[in-house]
């Protein structure tokens, strides 16, 4: 107890010394006289007023640091749902559990301040970066969901797995595993039209897949007569287009010639003998395939199996779909590309071997 009394006395003395030094400082005296001339009350109580202001600032920052700031670390790019019917206490506890706020009490206080307890608006809220409890309270009391549509491009020739990787990077809360499974279970590979989409962070898997499939239908609408003329099932057209997307360069004419070759082979019952399906099956391309890979018995091996693979191997763009629908009429049955992407054709296997010797070996 004596130690506390001594400490209190020591602190009081130090404060008094500081006060005296401040009050006797010539600059402070001049400042107080000017203020006194302007307003007697302010001049007389200036030090007390300054002290009160400093105390308020100190209290504010103390509260801010301890309970009002955002938690560290903050779960940036988080999407959370506030369900209809939840009361304010449930919402506050939920946000504390998800590390969006530090104090449920202060969140409830500020929500009531912004608009009353019943003004907490249900819905999906997106938190791209750390924000303090004031802003969180304002968001949920006024229904400011933070859901700004993002421009996301899914390139031509992307598989559903590659699309999922892009979506995961751009929309961290998007359920990519559900996306991949939904595509696989319903055989949607090839029907997810690659394009630029504007998506909000709360985009649902089913909604995105429906959006992409509807886009696919729209894109093919003007080629409906050509599809009827080709007289092939749409499923086969999509699979051929997906192979063209991987095997051809960007030239539409090249794609249409390769399309003609693929349809020629299918018409005569020849194996397609293309490498692109291996990328979809095991991730290996023309330069990494081994002899063992070429004889492995699986449905995507177009060297030992005749006909088409069971599914599309990519989601082709419109030019590859157009090429599959309207192929060039050609006498070629073989094609190959060099390491620069140049395509060479041959009518028979002997010509194909010569091309390989000249441009690959």
The CATH number of residue 99's host domain is 3.30.1490
User: Does a structural domain hold residue 51?
Assistant: yes
pLDDT for residue 151 = 92
User: CB–CB of 266/308 below 8 Å?
Assistant: yes
Kindly state the tokens that stand for 238. Answer: 């999509």
Q: Are residues 60 and 119 in the same domain?
A: no
Count CB atoms within 10 A of the CB of residue 296: 15
Q: Are residues 61 and 174 in the same domain?
A: no
Q: Are residues 254 and 347 in the same domain?
A: yes
pLDDT for residue 194 = 96
Indicate the residue among 142, 167, 195 that finishes a domain. Answer: 142
Q: How many domains does the chain have?
A: 4
Tell me the Cα Rg of the chain.
35
User: Does a structural domain hold residue 293?
Assistant: yes
Q: Are residues 331 and 247 in the same domain?
A: yes
User: Does a structural domain hold residue 129?
Assistant: yes
pLDDT for residue 38 = 44
Per-position pLDDT tens, the chain of length 361: 565 566 556 656 655 565 565 555 566 555 555 544 444 544 445 556 566 666 677 666 665 666 667 788 887 778 888 888 788 888 888 888 888 888 788 888 888 877 765 668 888 888 888 888 888 888 888 877 888 888 999 999 999 999 999 999 998 889 999 999 999 999 999 999 999 999 998 899 999 999 999 999 999 999 999 999 999 999 999 999 999 999 988 889 999 999 999 999 999 999 999 989 988 888 877 778 888 878 888 999 999 999 999 999 999 999 999 999 999 999 999 998 887 888 888 999 898 889 888 887 6
User: Does a structural domain hold residue 73?
Assistant: no
How distant is the alpha carbon of residue 314 from its chain centre? 20
Question: For the whole model, what pTM was predicted?
Answer: 0.73
Instruction: Tell me how far apart the alpha carbons of residues 342 and 27 are, in angstroms, rounded to a whole number.
Output: 84
User: Does a structural domain hold residue 90?
Assistant: yes
Q: Are residues 286 and 253 in the same domain?
A: yes
Which neighbouring-strand residues pair with 334?
346
Q: Are residues 308 and 349 in the same domain?
A: yes
Indicate the residue among 68, 96, 112 that finishes a domain. Answer: 68
CA distances from 42 to 25, 214, 267 (A): 18, 72, 99
CATH number for 205: 3.30.1490.480
Instruction: Tell me how far apart the alpha carbons of residues 191 and 209 are, in angstroms, rounded to a whole number.
Output: 9
pLDDT for residue 85 = 78
Cβ contacts of 229-237, under 8 Å, gap ≥ 24: 230/325, 230/326, 236/308, 237/321, 237/324, 237/325
Q: Are residues 112 and 61 in the same domain?
A: no
User: Does a structural domain hold residue 349?
Assistant: yes
Range of the domain at 178: 150-218
User: Does a structural domain hold residue 283?
Assistant: yes
pLDDT for residue 42 = 45
Q: Are residues 240 and 338 in the same domain?
A: yes
Q: Are residues 342 and 230 in the same domain?
A: yes
Q: Which residues of 339-357 are buried (b: 16+ CB within 10 A; e: fewer)?
A: eeeebbbbeeeeebeebee
User: Does a structural domain hold residue 176?
Assistant: yes
Q: Are residues 302 and 183 in the same domain?
A: no
Please state whether 271 falls in left (phi above 0), alpha (psi between -120 and 50) or beta: beta
Indicate the residue among 68, 96, 120 that finishes a domain. Answer: 68
Q: Are residues 129 and 157 in the same domain?
A: no
Q: Are residues 172 and 256 in the same domain?
A: no
């Amino acid at each position: 107890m004596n130690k506390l009394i001594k400490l209190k006395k020591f602190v009081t003395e130090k404060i008094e010394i500081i006060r005296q030094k401040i009050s006797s400082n010539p600059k402070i005296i001049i400042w107080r006289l000017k203020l006194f001339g302007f307003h007697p009350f302010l001049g007389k109580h200036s030090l007390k007023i300054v002290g009160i202001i400093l105390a308020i600032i100190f209290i504010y920052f103390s509260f801010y640091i301890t309970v009002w700031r955002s938690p560290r670390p903050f779960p940036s790019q988080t999407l959370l749902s506030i369900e209809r019917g939840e009361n304010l206490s449930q919402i506050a506890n939920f946000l504390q559990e998800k590390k969006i706020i530090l104090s449920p009490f202060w969140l409830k206080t500020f929500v009531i301040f912004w608009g009353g307890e019943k003004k907490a608006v249900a819905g999906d809220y997106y938190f791209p970066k750390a924000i303090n409890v004031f802003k969180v309270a304002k968001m949920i009391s006024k229904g400011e969901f933070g859901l700004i549509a993002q421009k996301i491009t899914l390139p031509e020739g992307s598989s559903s797995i590659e699309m999922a990787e892009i979506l995961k990077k751009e929309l961290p809360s998007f359920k990519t595993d559900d996306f991949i499974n939904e595509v696989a279970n319903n055989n949607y590979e090839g029907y997810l039209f690659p394009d630029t989409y504007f998506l909000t962070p709360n985009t649902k898997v089913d909604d995105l897949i429906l959006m992409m499939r509807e886009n696919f239908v729209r894109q093919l609408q003007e080629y409906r007569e050509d599809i009827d003329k080709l007289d092939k099932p749409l499923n086969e057209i999509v699979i051929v287009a997906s192979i063209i997307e991987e095997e051809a360069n960007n030239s539409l004419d090249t794609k249409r010639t390769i399309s003609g070759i693929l349809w020629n082979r299918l018409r005569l019952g020849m194996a397609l003998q293309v490498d692109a399906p291996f990328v979809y099956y095991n991730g290996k391309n023309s330069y990494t395939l081994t002899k063992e890979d070429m004889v492995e018995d699986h449905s995507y091996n177009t060297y030992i199996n005749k006909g088409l693979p069971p599914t599309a191997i990519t989601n082709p763009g419109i030019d590859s779909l157009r090429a599959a629908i309207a192929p060039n009429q050609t006498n070629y049955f073989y094609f190959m590309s060099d390491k620069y992407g140049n395509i060479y054709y041959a009518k028979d296997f002997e010509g194909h071997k010569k091309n390989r010797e000249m441009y690959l070996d």
